[in-house]
Each structure stands twice: as C-alpha cells, then as structure tokens.
C-alpha cells in the first residue's frame, strides 16, 4: 500500500493548489479525483467554461450592437452554437491539461476514482480498480454541487443547472432563470446576448444580494436596459415540464400568481457542499446542518490531521478562496504560520459591465454601527470609458469616518474584475482613502475612477465631476 505525507481528495482549485504547495514544501503528495478530468467544478463546469461563453457571447453582442457605432460594417452576424460550445470545450481541455502538467512537474501522484475513508489514515480509491493508500495528513477538497428546490425535478434537458447550461446546443427561445445570484445573471447574460428572451425570477428584492446595494441597483438597471426581464420578490412554487415547454409558477409580492412559460429553466439558487461517498463516519467526522464539514481557524476538522478546504467548508464559494485555503493547509502542516483575511477575498460577477467588490458593503457597515464616509464616481465621466463606449457603472469607496481606512471597495463597470485588485492591495496594506486619492493613476484608464472616488470620499473633491 502506498503511503504519503499528504493525500488530498478532490482536484478543484482547492485540492490541486494544495497539492502543488505541499509538493513545493517537500511533502510526498497524492491527489485523488473521481472524474478523469482534473480541475474540479471551476475548470470543468464553472469559472472557465462560463467565462469562455461570456466572452463569445460578448463578441457576438458587440458585432450586432456596437460595431456600427465604431464605424465597422459587417453583414448580419449569426450564432453557431455548436462551434461556440466546441471552442469552450477546447479552452477547458487546454486548462485541464495544464493542471495535469503541473501535477507531473511537481511529482504529485494522481489517482482517479472515488476516495472514501476506511479509517482516519486510510483512503480507499474506487475507480477502474480498487486500491488503498495511507497518509499522515488528509485534506478534503470535495467541493460543491448545484442546489435545487425540493419540489423541482431537474431533468438536465429542459430543467437544468449551470452544468447543462454550459453545454446547450441551441439558443433558448425563452430561458427562465430561477435565482438572480452570480451564476444566474452570468448565464442569463450569455443567452440574452445570444438572442434569447431571459426572465430572472428572484426571491429577494434585488439581484446579486451579496453585493453592496449600489452595485446591485446599477447592474439591475443595465441588464434591464439590455432586455432582461426580472421578477423580484417572487417566490417560485412550481416548475413543470410538458414536452419541450417548462412552466414556472411564482407568487408575486401582492400575493398574485404569475406563470412564465419557456423552453428552458435554469435553476441557479446556490450550491451545496458535496461529501457523498466520502464515508466520513469511518474517519470520525460528520457534517453540520448545512452539509458543510466543520473546521477550526486552521482548517482542521474534528480529527486534527484531517483538514477540509474550499466549497465544502464555511465561507464564500469561490475558486480563489479555495486556493488560498489550499496553500494555507500545506503551509500549516509544514509548521509555518499562514494567514487568510476572509474579509479581503474579492467577489466578482462577469456580466458586462462586470461587478467586483472587496470588504464591507454600506449595509454591513450600517448594521455594525461603524461610522463611515462614502465616495463614488461614475464611469461615464472618464475619457477611457467614452473612448471605448463602456460608460455604465461606478466606483464606490467606503472609508472609516475617523481613521479614513478603506473598509469597502466596490466597482461596477468595464474591467471591474481587474480593477478590484487595487482595492485588495490597498486594503491588505490598510491604506486610507487619502492614500488612494494621492496615487497617480495612468490616463486614460478605467482605474482613474478609483482615484476620483477616493477624492470624493475624502472631502468631496473629485476633479472631473
Ligand atoms: P471543486 O472545484 O468543486 O472540486 C471538487 C472536486 O472534488 C471535483 O473535481 C470532484 O469531482 C471531486 N470529488 C468530490 N468527491 C470526491 C471523492 N469522494 N473522491 C474523489 N474526488 C471527489 N468561482 C470563482 O472564484 N470565480 C468564478 O468566476 C466562478 N464562476 C463559476 C461559475 C459557475 C457556473 C459555477 C458553478 C461556479 C463558479 N465558481 C466561480 C465557483 C468555483 O467553481 C468554486 O468555488 C470552486 O470550484 C471550488 O473549488 P473546490 O476545490 O472547493 O471544489
């Protein structure tokens, strides 16, 4: 039986990054993945394929709607859905190959098969053959799966999750999206731009509720302008398929019943931790009421040599959060003193305009009774935004009213996903809004909105507003 210093179950961004860091630190490392493909949700059915389709659909949208204004005339562009999906598959395949290369380079033993505990140090791998391995330390990085509503039967054909939505061979005529969170608005956006009618039904009174309300309001306005329909504060009570039609029934805020009929219904109400098949009991472990594996501040489970990271534990379900935790665990086992500031994990929505945020929202600061000052700046006032035609959006900076330390950094606009990095760096170094206001920002860039918002937060002295 092979024995290892560290064995990791699950090859998503948590697991494979943990494996690389462990190998770098000199540990004999094994990575166990039940599918043939490495990379987990993120690479196979999450971050990467969704961004590939977002980019393709944006090209199409621009060709259809925006080229003319730039003086580019082309005959009416058409969507070739099988080709778009094929390109996405290639992007995924290349990325997955990259992970396999990294495993080889770092001399990590990869096992394909379902990993389950035999005892706290032994894992059985059930794949084409069955074999056991032992490890001094074990890391559970088994990720998450899409959640559903108890009364909905996901048939994976017409009533689908994000996984199937990334493989459609046709543009829906009417896509009904249940859930206006990140995944719902991103995939809704893809198909809206490709020509589908898209209706988003959301239980809460706003979309992307995890973000500062200024961003959700602005995104709502822009997506509505792009033609998306929203049914906010609507409670879905039934989802029924008849032939190729799906009917969604929901209760409106006034108590009236609303019925929507489409050809596809995407269920995107969140994800749940995935621990099926692990046989946690054999290791002396169990899950909490939300299906997560409880961990302490060092990401140790109730059995100290077994760790858990990523979507399967508490915290944001994000690839880069899982990666940070993967590195953390490897370094902790090596006797180092790693640290993660969970308040500074950025959160991004890849619609166009993009939405990105780090730190606290205004609602959170209010609820916590923390005194703050707010500054904001609209993208439309920037030369760069005018030049490219990306005028929607704003930057909003929240700073402590007395110390001026930046507490929240919120962007909606072109390249927001990249712009948020400036906020993360500033907040990691505990910068003040005044610091950002005094830093030279290249002209013309979208990042100038950050400087201007910081100027607005520190005495209402934005220069171009
Ligand atoms: P996962 O990536 O879920 O990997 C877990 C792995 O464990 C899987 O490969 C699974 O097969 C394997 N496994 C499970 N059980 C076993 C077992 N018993 N034995 C062996 N293997 C097992 N996050 C972002 O940060 N940015 C984004 O843009 C983004 N976009 C997304 C878009 C979509 C459509 C979706 C669905 C998710 C998106 N996410 C995004 C979230 C991101 O994918 C997850 O947060 C991330 O993949 C979590 O990483 P993980 O390592 O915890 O688990």
- Domain closes at, from 334, 362, 378: 334
Contact 46 CB / ligand 1 (< 6 Å): yes
According to the model, what pLDDT value does residue 409 have? 98
According to the model, what pLDDT value does residue 119 have? 98
Tell me the β-bridge partners of 242.
Answer: 245
The CA 349 to ligand 1 mean position distance, Å, reads 17
**Interval 375-384 mean pLDDT:** 98
Q: What is the mean pLDDT of the chain?
A: 97
Residue 388 has a CB neighbour count (10 Å cut-off) of 15
Q: List, for residues 397-442, the tens digit of each pLDDT value.
A: 999 999 999 999 999 999 999 999 999 999 999 999 999 999 999 9
* Beta strands per DSSP E along 243-390: 245-251, 257-262, 264-267, 271-273, 306-308, 347-349, 354-359, 372-378
Cis peptide before 353 (omega within 30 of 0): yes
Quick check: is 344 in a domain?
Answer: no
The CATH number that applies at residue 385 is 3.30.390.30
Q: How many domains does the chain have?
A: 3
- Domain closes at, from 304, 334, 364: 334
- Domain closes at, from 234, 253, 269: 269
Quick check: is 151 in a domain?
Answer: no
Quick check: is 429 in a domain?
Answer: yes
Overall size of the chain counted in residues = 465
Quick check: is 449 in a domain?
Answer: yes
Quick check: is 27 in a domain?
Answer: yes
For residues 193 and 253, membership in a common domain is answered with: yes
The span from the CA of 390 to the CA of 414, in Å, is: 6
Q: Are 219 and 351 in contact (CB under 8 A)?
A: yes
245 is in an annotated binding site: no
Quick check: is 408 in a domain?
Answer: yes
For residues 22 and 121, membership in a common domain is answered with: yes
According to the model, what pLDDT value does residue 328 have? 98
Q: Are 230 and 224 in contact (CB under 8 A)?
A: yes
143 is in an annotated binding site: yes
According to the model, what pLDDT value does residue 425 have? 98
Q: Are 194 and 60 in contact (CB under 8 A)?
A: yes
The span from the CA of 269 to the CA of 267, in Å, is: 6
For residues 216 and 134, membership in a common domain is answered with: no
The CA 436 to ligand 1 mean position distance, Å, reads 35
According to the model, what pLDDT value does residue 441 have? 98
Q: Per-residue confidence at 143, pLDDT binned at 50, 70, 90? A: very high
Q: List, for residues 254-285, the tens digit of each pLDDT value.
A: 999 999 999 999 999 999 999 999 999 999 99
Contacts of 454 (CB under 8 A, 6+ apart): 375, 397, 433, 434, 435, 436, 437
Contact 31 CB / ligand 1 (< 6 Å): no
- Position in ligand 1 atom list of the atom nearest CA 271: 36
**Interval 230-241 mean pLDDT:** 98
Q: Which of 418, 352, 349, 350 is nearest to 389 (CA)?
A: 352
For residues 384 and 260, membership in a common domain is answered with: no
The CATH number that applies at residue 257 is 3.50.50.60
Q: Are 144 and 40 in contact (CB under 8 A)?
A: no
For residues 359 and 244, membership in a common domain is answered with: no
First to last CA, the chain: 69
277 is in an annotated binding site: no
For residues 445 and 375, membership in a common domain is answered with: yes
Q: What is the ipTM of this complex?
A: 0.99
Q: Per-residue confidence at 84, pLDDT binned at 50, 70, 90? A: very high
Quick check: is 142 in a domain?
Answer: yes
Active-site residue flag, 70: no
Contacts of 69 (CB under 8 A, 6+ apart): 389
Q: Per-residue confidence at 351, pLDDT binned at 50, 70, 90? A: very high
Q: List, for residues 442-455, the tens digit of each pLDDT value.
A: 999 999 999 999 99
For residues 14 and 125, membership in a common domain is answered with: yes
The span from the CA of 43 to the CA of 40, in Å, is: 6
- Position in ligand 1 atom list of the atom nearest CA 125: 19
The whole domain housing 173 covers 159-269
Q: Per-residue confidence at 105, pLDDT binned at 50, 70, 90? A: very high
């Amino acid at each position: 039986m092979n024995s290892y210093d560290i064995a990791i179950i699950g090859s998503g961004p948590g697991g494979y990054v943990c494996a690389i860091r462990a190998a770098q630190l000199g540990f004999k490392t094994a990575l166990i993945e039940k599918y043939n493909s490495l990379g987990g949700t993120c690479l196979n059915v999450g971050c990467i394929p969704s961004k590939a389709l977002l980019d393709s659909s944006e090209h199409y949208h621009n060709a259809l709607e925006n080229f003319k204004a730039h003086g580019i005339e082309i005959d009416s562009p058409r969507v070739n859905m099988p080709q778009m999906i094929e390109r996405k598959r290639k992007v995924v395949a290349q990325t997955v190959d990259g992970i396999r290369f990294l495993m080889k380079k770092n001399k990590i033993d990869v096992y394909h098969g379902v990993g389950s505990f035999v005892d706290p140090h032994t894992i059985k791998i059930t794949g084409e053959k069955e074999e056991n391995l032992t490890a001094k330390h074990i890391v559970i990085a088994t990720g998450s799966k899409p959640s559903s509503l108890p009364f909905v039967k996901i048939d994976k054909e017409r009533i689908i999750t994000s996984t199937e939505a990334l493989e459609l061979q046709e543009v829906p005529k009417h896509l009904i999206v249940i859930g206006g969170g990140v995944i719902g608005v991103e995939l809704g956006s893809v198909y809206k731009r490709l020509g589908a009618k898209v209706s988003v039904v959301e239980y809460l009174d706003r979309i992307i509720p995890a973000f500062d309300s200024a961003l959700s309001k602005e995104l709502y306005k822009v997506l509505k302008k792009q033609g998306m329909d929203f049914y906010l504060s609507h409670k879905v009570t039934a989802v029924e398929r008849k032939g190729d039609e799906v009917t969604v029934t929901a209760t409106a805020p006034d108590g009236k019943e609303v019925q929507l009929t489409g050809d596809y219904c995407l269920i995107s109400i969140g994800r749940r931790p995935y621990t099926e098949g692990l046989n946690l009991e054999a290791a002396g472990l169990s899950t909490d009421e939300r299906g997560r594996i409880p961990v302490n501040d060092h990401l140790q489970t109730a059995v100290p040599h077994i760790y858990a990271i990523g979507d399967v534990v508490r915290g944001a379900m994000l690839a880069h959060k899982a990666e940070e935790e993967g590195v953390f665990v490897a370094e902790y086992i090596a006797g180092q003193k790693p640290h993660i500031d969970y308040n500074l994990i950025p959160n991004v929505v890849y619609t166009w305009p993009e939405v990105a945020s780090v730190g606290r929202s205004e609602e959170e600061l209010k609820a916590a009774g923390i005194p703050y000052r707010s500054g904001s700046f609209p993208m439309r006032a920037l030369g760069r935004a005018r030049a490219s035609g990306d005028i929607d959006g704003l930057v909003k900076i929240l700073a402590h009213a007395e110390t001026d330390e930046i507490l929240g950094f919120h962007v909606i606009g072109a390249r927001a996903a990249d712009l948020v990095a400036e906020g993360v760096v500033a907040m990691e170094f505990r910068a003040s809004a005044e610091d950002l206001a005094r830093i030279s920002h290249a002209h013309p860039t979208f990042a100038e909105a950050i400087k201007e918002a910081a100027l607005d937060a520190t005495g209402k002295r934005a220069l171009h507003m």
